[in-house]
Each structure stands twice: as C-alpha cells, then as structure tokens.
Structure 1
Amino acid sequence: IDQHWPSFMPGLLTLATDTSKEIRRRGLQILTQFISKFPNKTLRDRGLSKVFEDAVFPTLSYLPTLTPESESVLLLDLAFDALISLAGKQKQQPSPATGISEQKKALDKILREGVFPAYAHAKSHMLLVRVLCLKLGSIVSMMGVHAVKYLQDIIPILLEVIAEDFAPLVPETLSVALDVLDAVLTNCWPMIPGIPWQDKIIAALVICWENVVREHDNDSGNEDFIQIKQKLVHSARGLEAVLKTAGISLAIVVSPMVANPADARQLYAAGLFSFLFNAPPPLG
C-alpha cells in the first residue's frame, strides 16, 4: 500500500462518494479497511487525511427524513467508523505551535460537525441515536480527560436518551447510552462532582429506573429488563466512586430521595440506590 496507494485512490474515492447509497455503503466499508492498513506516516506526510475527510464527511448529512432511517443507520455507522479510524492514525503529541494534537483536532471535528448536529436533527430516531451513542462512546474513550471540554454537549444528550419515557421500548439504544455514561464517568470524573452534573445524572438514573420497572413490572424475567437494571446500578456505583474522589457521599446526597417509601418516586429511587443502604431492591 505504501508504494502503490496512488493507484487505489481514484477508485476508493469514487465508491465512497457515489450517489447510489448501496455503492457508497460498500465504498465506505472498503475505505475503512484501506485506512486501517495505510501506513500512518505516509497518510500524514502526503496530506491524505484531509482528502479522506472531505470524501467521508458529506455522508453524515444522510439523515432522516430525507434519507430513510434504515439507510441512514447503515451509512452513518460506516462513515463514523472511517473518520474515527482516520483520527486514530493522527499524531497524539500536542503541536508546539497550538498545544493541540492532530488526533484531538480530528476528534473535535467529528463531534462538532458529526455527532452533535446529527443528534440535534434526528434525536427522535432511536436506532440512529444508538449509532450516534456508539460512536460518541468511542470518541470519549479516545479523548480521555480532554472530553471534559464537551461535557455541556455530551451529558445532556445522554441524559435525554436515558430519561426518555419510551427508552425501555428500545433497550439496545438505552443500553448503549448507559455504556457511554460509564465512559464519561471514567474519563471525565474530575468535572462530575457538584453542580450541575451530579444531580442531573442522579435524576436521570432514577427516572430511567422508574420507566424500566413500570414498563416491565409484569415481565421481570425479561433479559433486556434485567440487563438494563444491572447497568443502571453499575452506573450508580460508578457515580458513587466518582463522588468519593471529591469527598461527597452519594448515600447522603440521595437520602432525601429515599426517605419516604409512601412516595412512588422515592420508592423507585430506593430501588436503584439500595446498594448504598445494604438492602435488597424493593422493586423488580
């Protein structure tokens, strides 16, 4: 590839930008495989990253309702994979001139021009939201603590998905959103304790627990139901660990929320946070 890449370029770019969605989809698959095998140094030295970016980014505009959701899911999944693979090949060392690495700049662009606008445009399409959350999780993990720059964008997206009344009806999307929340807690933990994020996360987890239990209260053996409940508790435990780093006790924070079992919302909160008080969950 290092020696013969010029011969591949015209065909690759033509396929990845074809007006036929099926051909474009296949072209993006091939392009992602090609990028993964392309020597990093050649990619950077020849300025090919920009060429590939310019070819792939337009696919991120293939959104509902102009594009059917089923087709949009396939195309955006592949386009984000190509861009994230491309970002992974950029230099991680900060530039002496800007103090920002090329990889961070590439990931910034994927968030600003890809994930965030796509979510704003198509948030009601839950299968597409699942794809966006999957890619968001990958980007947060790659960015590490630098993702704190985007907490004001990332956390509201996740909490909106998690606290959505109908989220339990699309467990695959809800499950991924909880995974991304865990990635945020792991990588951005210094900025989570205190106002506003800690309380917003707690509230969203409680609402989600209530929605899940209400939706599946007659179907407690449902595997999706069991997995989502386990993930909610896992996220709550993760939040507990993060708050401890700031000397904050999650048990003390949520105590007023579980003090009155006669209150329905507090009863659900007690179910989620029962691990803090060494009691079995009263619900589900």
Structure 2
Amino acid sequence: MLDPILEAVKRCDATGPPPSDTCPELAELVPPGMNIRDIAASLDKLSSSALDAIKCLRIIQACLDSRQDSPQGTETEDLSSPLFEISEYVGRVILPVVPASEDNDSEDVTSAAKTQFLLKGELGLNILRTLTNRHAFALNPTALLSAVAYTNPQDPWTSDASADIARDLLRSQFSEAEGAPEKAASKGEFITDTLLTQHLRPLFSKSRPATVTASGRKAAFVEEQSSAMLEDRAAKPWKYTHVHAVTVFDWAVRNAAGATTVKQPAASGAKDDTQPRQPLLAKTWHLFTPVLFTLLDESDTVLKVRALGIFGAFWSGCPPGLMGQVGLASVFEDAVFPAVHFLPNITPEDESRIILNAAYPALFQLAGLVDCDSTSNSSEATTSDILPMISGIMTNPFETKHPQSVLAATQLLQAILRCCWPRISAYRNEIIRALTVCWLNIADEDTWPTSDKTAPTKQELETQLIKAAALLSSVIRNDAQAGQDQPGTMLDDLVSPLVKKEPLLAPLFASSPN
C-alpha cells in the first residue's frame, strides 16, 4: 500500500516544507481511503524501511492530512489501539537522544543534530496535535514524555513553535483529568511513575552524590567517590546522551507543586470510601531529591544555574519545614553554598555573575526569605540560619589557607546586612566577633597562598571586611535613630574596648560612619 510513497519520500528534500505543511508530492500518493488502522499497520514497514525518522514522520503526516475524517465523536469503531500505536511510535522517534558515538555535551549538541531535533520535534508534535484534535483519547506515556522534552524553548532542539504545541498538548491532556479521568492520565501519577521512577531514575542512578541514598534520603555514612568515576560519560547518560533529561525533571518539579496524589481507599470503617488527595511533593519528595542533588553537584555553569532554579521551585513547592523534618535541610545547604565560590578569576566573570545571581536567591530560600527586600518575620530565619554558617567560616583559623571561602562568606554577610537589616540588632555581637576574629586571622597569616593567582590578596579581603563593618555601622545607626537602641549606642561604642585591647583592629572600624 505504501510502496509508491516510500519511493517518493526518498526523492524529497531532507527538510522539505515547514513542519506544519504536508509535502505535496507525498499527499498525491497517499492511497485512497487510508484510515487510522492502515496507518498503524504501516508502522512496522516504516521502521524497517531504512528511512530516517523525519521522512517516516512526513509519510504519517501526509496520510493523516489526506484522510476525510468524520466529525469527532461520530466514529463507532474503537480506535484506541491504533491511536496508541501511532502516538507511541511518534513519541519514541522524536525524543531528543544523542547517540553515544557522538561526542556531544548536553549544551553543545552539533548543528546537524540540532536541525534534526528541531524538525523531528515540530513534525511529531504536529502529528500528535492532529490526532488529539480529531479523536478524544489520552496520549500514551511515551508521547507525553516526548512532549515534556520539548517544553523549554531555550533548549537547542526546541523551537518556539514546538514548545507551544508541547505545552498545549500537556495542558489539554491533564486539564481533562478532572472531568474525564478515564480519558486522561493523572498528572501526579505521570510525574512520579513515568517521569521520575521509570525514566529519570535509571539515567541518574550512577552519578548520584554520596550524601543522599538511592531512596532520596540523607545518607547516614557518606562514602568517598572518585572524581574519575563521577565524570565517566557512561555514568551520566542524562548529560551526554539523553540530553532532554534536565528539561523533563525541570517540568516535573514545577508541575508537581500544583499536582496531588491519587485518592486512596479509606481505612476500614471510615465514613468516606476514599481519602482526600494530598500535595504531591509532601508524599513523594524522596523521588525528586536524588536527581536534584546530582544536578546541584554539577560544576558546569549552564547546569549549575538550571539546578539552582529547579531547587528554588522544589523548595517553594514543599510544605514549610518538610526538608528539615526529614533531615535534608543541612544537606541542601552543603549542596547550594559552594555555588558562591564560583568567583573570578578562577571562574570567568560573566559565568560567575550568572551563577551568583542564581545562588544567592537559593540561599535566601533556604533561610526562609523569598524576597530580599522583605522586612517580614521571615528575615529572622535568614539571620538565625545563615549567620552561624558565615561566622563558622570567618572565624576558622585555617580558612586563610583558602581565601576564596573567606571572601565568599564576607560577601554573603554584606548581602545579609543589606537585605535583613531590620533583624540584625540581635546578632550584632556575633557579627562583630566574626569580623574581628577574621581580621586578626588574616593579620596573623604569614604564608599567604601566593601560588594561586585566583585567590584574593590580603588587601582585597581586608577591604571587604571594612565594607561589611561599615554596613553594620549603618544598620546600628538606623536602629538608634528609629529608637530601637538607647541614644549614643553606635558601633564605635561597642568596639572601642576591643580596639583598645587590640590596636590591630583599628583599621577595620576606622571607616565606619558614626
């Protein structure tokens, strides 16, 4: 039945007309009366024809566009099986996967592969849209997975058009779940079963950091992992071959926030026959954390920034305090905080700026402050949670061996002083201690690491400490002017006994306004 069209498609241009249009030469060769069952029956022949995926999709598109369908809902025969087969085939061939033989990084897909992905994506998604518009049926998991893979137009395999189609497909499939659960998959089940458990978990299993178990919980004993093993390409198929994995996980996290669990049967003797739905992340957070920690552990700039953004969506979607209750809050702190070490000159300035712009909001979320300009009670959590971490770094006598850490902690302290100043008064003694001990440690350090050209100098660190002291002085002065402190209570009043006892501290507070 398809022999003439199979021969014709070989002569067609590799790209052909726009993905939304049918190739005219192919349309003329579609056998009369070809229906959905015929198309499904031809899939095996297409798969074995040695044609590339784009030409196979062109044939399916031409067959669909040539059909004279009856109005939706008037067909009496059951087409669920052939529709399932066609959508499964289309979803399988358009999923962006780079062959292992191609030495490509996830952010460096070759231009040829990019063109293939762009065209296959638009063609396949147009076919899926045609099918769902003509027939009221639920797309199978393979087709839904591929649609999710095309939801981010920033990906090199996704055009604006394919992203729009993919989002519309997903929206229509899951919006029907409320009114017609038999025709649309549950979004919660799709996220947890299809995306996380069946698809993503195997891809990330070999590169999971040792701080979290395979079940997504905090590891009781952290075993050392060799860097060579973690950077093995075979251990990271999500990064080097299944390049769509990060986009799929991003979509899963952002959509999990509004999804719920499936209703469960109530306990025996209960009045209602079902238990109410619960927020998805509240019950299934452990399915997300292994992938999230793996991404946060990445040093690649693009992946690091995406991971921090995904973390923000995950953290805000979880019920307040949940990560602390399950013991993962501190693990997330350890995973996110190193991002502030990506500083020039060890990191290019442009990349450093991008990472820091993503890292600081993530740290504020960890501390319970969503908006840096907020003066609400949530800033209390910021100061109480982050300041001890900053103080621990700045007062460590051995931190001068790694000046980059001291610089990052000092700059974070400055950000806290700017953003959370209404809550600083209760912590000013701790801040003064951190500043003075750090200043004296720097002054006492005789063997400054000069071999590392990227490390800040003593003078650069001292300048940042002086700037932090000046900010603290301004906060204390504002408190005094607002009547929160007794008149005359200024930074100079608090530190003068210290300066008298240790004159080396005088330059630290000399520039502080009083």
Do the two structures share a fold, i.e. TM-score over 0.5?
yes
RMSD: 4.7
Greater shift in the superposed pair: 153-162 or 269-278: 269-278
The one-character-per-residue Cα deviations of 1:174-226 (angstroms, maximum 9, x if unpaired) are: 222112222222232222114xx111110110110111122158899974323
Structure 2 counterpart of 1:170 = 402
What displacement does 1:232 show? 0.9
SS of the residue corresponding to residue 445 of structure 2 reads helix
Structure 1 pair 83–26 and aligned structure 2 pair: CA distance change class (3 A): same
From 400, 414, 417, give the equivalent of 1:185: 417
Question: Which structure 2 residues correspond to residues 67-146 of structure 1 after superposition, within 5 A?
Answer: 74=298, 84-86=308-310, 88-89=312-313, 103=316, 108-109=321-322, 113-116=327-330, 130-131=338-339, 138-140=362-364, 143-144=370-371, 145=375, 146=378
Match status 1:255 vs 2:442 = no
The one-character-per-residue Cα deviations of 1:36-58 (angstroms, maximum 9, x if unpaired) are: 57795x45433597298433424
Structure 2 counterpart of 1:229 = 462
SS of the residue corresponding to residue 273 of structure 1 reads helix
Structure 2 counterpart of 1:269 = 505
| Structure 2 CA distance for aligned equivalents of residues 32 and 24 of structure 1 | 15
Structure 1 pair 129–45 and aligned structure 2 pair: CA distance change class (3 A): closer
SS of the residue corresponding to residue 479 of structure 2 reads coil
Question: Which structure 2 residues correspond to residues 151-170 of structure 1 after superposition, within 5 A?
Answer: 151-170=383-402
Give the conservation status (yes or no) of the 8 Å contact 2:364–2:370.
Answer: yes
Structure 2 counterpart of 1:18 = 205
Give the conservation status (yes or no) of the 8 Å contact 1:137–1:179.
Answer: no
Q: Find the structure with the greater CA-based Rg.
A: 2
The one-character-per-residue Cα deviations of 1:105-129 (angstroms, maximum 9, x if unpaired) are: 567555674452577xx8xxxx996
Structure 1 pair 178–256 and aligned structure 2 pair: CA distance change class (3 A): same
Give the conservation status (yes or no) of the 8 Å contact 1:162–1:177.
Answer: yes
| Structure 2 CA distance for aligned equivalents of residues 182 and 138 of structure 1 | 16
Structure 1 pair 78–55 and aligned structure 2 pair: CA distance change class (3 A): farther
Structure 1 pair 174–103 and aligned structure 2 pair: CA distance change class (3 A): same
Mark the runs of 5 or more structure 2 residues left unpaired by the alignment: 1-150, 152-166, 172-189, 209-229, 261-278, 342-355, 481-488
| Structure 2 CA distance for aligned equivalents of residues 184 and 277 of structure 1 | 19
The one-character-per-residue Cα deviations of 1:155-189 (angstroms, maximum 9, x if unpaired) are: 21210111100111111222221122222222322
Match status 1:46 vs 2:254 = no
Give the conservation status (yes or no) of the 8 Å contact 2:361–2:370.
Answer: no
TM-score by length of 1: 0.63
SS of the residue corresponding to residue 205 of structure 2 reads coil
Opposite residue 212 of structure 1, the aligned amino acid is I
Number of residue pairs aligned between Structure 1 and Structure 2: 244
Structure 1 pair 56–35 and aligned structure 2 pair: CA distance change class (3 A): closer
TM-score by length of 2: 0.38
What displacement does 1:83 show? 6.7
Give the conservation status (yes or no) of the 8 Å contact 2:292–2:307.
Answer: no
Mark the runs of 5 or more structure 1 residues left unpaired by the alignment: 63-71, 91-101, 279-284
Structure 1 pair 154–45 and aligned structure 2 pair: CA distance change class (3 A): closer
